[in-house]
Amino acid sequence: MDTNAVILFSAIFLIGGVLMAKFSSRLGVPALVLFIIVGMITGSDGLGYIYFDNASLTQSLGILALVLILFDGGLQTEWRRTKAVLPISLSLATVGVLITSGLFGVAAKMILDVNWNEALLLGAIVGSTDAAAVFAVLKGKNIKRKLQSTLEAESGSNDPMAMFLTLTLLQLAIGETAFGASVILSFFWQMGAGLLLGVLFGYAASWAMKNIELGSNGLYPVFSIAIALITYSATDLVNASGLLAVYAAALVLGNTKSLPYGQTIFRFHDGIAWMMQILMFIMLGLLVNPSELFSTWIVLKGLALSFILIVIARPIAVFLSSIPFKFTLKEKTFLSWAGLRGAVPIVLATFPLLEGLENSQLFFNLIFFIVLTSALVQGATIPFIGKKLGLTGPEVHVPSHSLELVSSTTVNAEMIPYTIRPSSKLIGKELSDISFPDKVLVSAIIRRDELIAPSGDTKIKVHDVLYILVENQKKSELEKVLGIRKTIGG
Residue 424: pLDDT above 90? Answer: no
The pTM of the whole model exceeds 0.85: no
Residue 488: pLDDT above 50? Answer: no
pLDDT top residue among 2 and 478: 478
Strands 465-471, 450-452: pairing is unpaired
pLDDT at 314: 94
Residue 487: pLDDT above 50? Answer: no
pLDDT at 28: 58
Is the CA virtual torsion 247, 249, 251, 254 positive or negative? negative
Average pLDDT over residues 156-161: 81
pLDDT at 489: 37
pLDDT at 25: 62
Tell me the pLDDT tens digit for each residue of 21-41. Answer: 777 666 656 777 888 888 888
Residue 244: pLDDT above 80? Answer: yes
pLDDT at 171: 83
Of 429, 419, 439, the residue nearest 488 (C-alpha): 419
Average pLDDT over residues 227-255: 92
Task: Determine the distance from the C-alpha atom of residue 293 to the mean position of all C-alpha atoms in its chain, rounded to a whole number.
Answer: 26
343-354 vs 55-76: helix crossing angle, rounded to 10? 150
- DSSP bridge partners of 447: 450
pLDDT top residue among 113 and 122: 122
Per-residue b/e over 406-424, b at no fewer than 16 CB within 10 Å? Answer: ebbbeeebbbbbbebbeeb
- Whole-number Å distance between alpha carbons of 292 and 429: 63
Average pLDDT over residues 363-391: 87
pLDDT at 486: 46
pLDDT at 304: 95
Tell me the pLDDT tens digit for each residue of 68-93. Answer: 988 988 888 888 778 888 899 989 98
Tell me the pLDDT tens digit for each residue of 318-373. Answer: 999 999 998 899 999 999 998 888 878 888 888 888 888 888 888 899 999 998 89
The mean predicted confidence, pLDDT, of the chain is: 83
At residue 111 the predicted structure's pLDDT band, cuts being 50, 70 and 90, is very high
In degrees and rounded to multiples of 5, residue 126 shows phi and psi of -100, 10
Check if the beta carbon of residue 71 is closer than 8 Å to that of residue 249. Answer: yes
pLDDT top residue among 292 and 311: 311
- DSSP bridge partners of 468: 416, 442
Check if the beta carbon of residue 43 is closer than 8 Å to that of residue 36. Answer: no
Tell me the pLDDT tens digit for each residue of 471-483. Answer: 767 777 887 888 7
